[in-house]
Structure 1
Amino acid sequence: MSRGNTRQRIQDVALELFAEHGYEKTSLREIAERLDVTKAALYYHFKTKEDIVISLFSDLGRPVDELIAWAEEQPPTLETKREILRRYHAALAGARPLFRFMHENQATVRDLSIGETFKERMTTLAGMVQDPDASMADRVRCVSALFTLHAGLWVMQAVDGDQEEKSRAVLEVAEDLMSRAHHGE
């Protein structure tokens, strides 16, 4: 198995265990046991649980950073803002377990300072999707469009229905909020 695949497996198993037992109650030994590897093999990839969590946020951050770089080069049109929503939605698609971790381990996220990095990215995206001259209600609609995508990650899991259909509906609502903020331009 390649280093990349092993790294991904470690991240996946760690998130599973964090969800089952909590971050604080999960040890590297338990992660190694679940993976059926030695602690030394696990240490080759990650020295600490914190390293695993930081790597997860770093992996999620790359596509968001690429999205921000792309958006900075685009005109601030409604279509650009819709495309930001679509690309952000795609970046979040595989991040459900990570957002569950964030929700259930807010103190850890804050203590590792990854929360600050996440907040900076969200602040940047929020600034890109709203018009500073818009009414406050329209600015709220634009920011709410972004957070609709987040809510769709974990709240909609408890709603019966096809996952793909729920995902499309979340994006549709986010795009609708954006369009309403721009008065259907």
Structure 2
Amino acid sequence: MARGNTRQRIQDVALELFAEQGYEKTSLREIAERLDVTKAALYYHFKTKEDIVISLFQDLTRPIDELIAWAEEQPHTLETKQEILRRYQEALVGAYPLFRFMQENQATVRELSIGETFKERMITMTRLIQEPGLALTDRVRCVSALFTMHAGMFFMQHVEGDPEDKREAVLEVAVDLVSQAHHGPRG
């Protein structure tokens, strides 16, 4: 994630430190030291660690917001739902550092405003891949499709194989779950 400008460098270094030692144990002073800048220079861009995390969340989840906006304008067909999953997987890959932070700092995320925002996005994504009036098992399939994609980001790292093949396998399972929900039980 080697990005160029100072704001992005601060975000990248902060994420590295949060991953290494946790959000709570990382100070703005440590972030400034790692960047080899003064604390005042860091304050110019971000006043608090939460400001850094919120900015990361906004930057890295922008593709998810764009996907939601796109999906809300599309016909509610199975093909659209499948495309939503494909695009969501691309957005997840781009936001991987943020999801890693969220997984490793769950208690902190619940306390920060991003926790509630993320929850709202997941509810919206679930709504977009479901049809109104689905049976409970089909709603579970749709929710499971999204969480299959999330789990696939983390747990498939420890499975041998080509990363692209693993992403395709995760997407195939997610698409299959939504397809089953859309068409009902397969015979």
TM-score normalized with structure 2 length: 0.91
Which residues in structure 2 correspond to 1:49-64 (within 5 Å)?
A: 49-64=49-64
> Structure 1, residues 28-54: CA drift from partner, whole Å, max 9, x if none?
111111112221221121111111111
1:36 matched to which residue of 2? Answer: 36
Q: Is the 8 A contact 1:96 1:154 kept in 2?
A: no
CA shift digits 1:146-166 (9 cap, x unpaired): 111111111112222222221
Bigger drift between 49-58 and 175-184 goes to: 175-184
Whole-Å separation in 2 of the counterparts to 1:15 and 1:47:
16
**Mapped partners of 1:97, 1:67: distance in 2:** 19
Match of 2:92 in 1: 92
Secondary structure of 1:44's aligned partner: helix
Instruction: Please give the alpha-carbon distance, in whole angstroms, between the structure 1 residues aligned to 2:9 and 2:167.
Output: 25
Asked if the contact 2:149–2:171 (Cα under 8 Å) also holds between the matched residues in 1, the reply is yes
Once the two structures are superposed, residues 4-23 of structure 1 have per-residue CA deviations (whole angstroms, 9 ceiling, x without a partner) of: 62222211111111111111
- Kindly provide the CA deviation profile for residues 121-163 of structure 1, in whole angstroms up to 9, marking residues without a partner as x: 1101101101122221111111111111111111112222222
CA contact (8 A) 1:145 1:178 kept: yes
Name the counterpart of 1:128. Answer: 128
Residue correspondence of structure 1 range 46-85 to structure 2 within 5 A: 46-85=46-85
Deviation at 1:60, TM superposition (A): 2.6
Measured in 2, the distance between the counterparts of 1:103 and 1:49 equals 17
Q: Counterpart of 2:154?
A: 154
Q: Which letter maps to 2:154?
A: W
Runs of 4+, deviation exceeding 4 Å: none
**TM-aligned CA deviation for residue 117 of structure 1:** 0.5
> How far apart, in 2, do the equivalents of 1:42 and 1:114 lie?
21
Q: Distance in 1 between matches of 2:65 and 2:130?
A: 18
Of residues 5-14 and 119-128 in structure 1, the stretch that sits farther from structure 2 once superposed is 5-14
Q: Map residues 96-107 of structure 1 onto 2, 5 A cutoff.
A: 96-107=96-107
Which residue in 2 is equivalent to 1:173? 173
Preserved contact between residue 99 and residue 154 of structure 1 (Cα < 8 Å): no
Contact preservation (8 Å) 1:32, 1:39: yes
Which ranges in structure 1 are unaligned for 5 or more consecutive residues?
Answer: none
CA positional deviation for 1:183 = 2.5
Question: Which blocks of at least 5 consecutive residues in structure 2 are unaligned?
Answer: none
Name the TM-score, length of structure 1 as normaliser: 0.92
Q: State how many pairs are aligned.
A: 183
Q: CA contact under 8 A between 1:132 and 1:139: conserved in structure 2?
A: no
Cα RMSD after superposing both structures: 1.8
Partners of 1:72 and 1:4 lie apart in 2 by 33
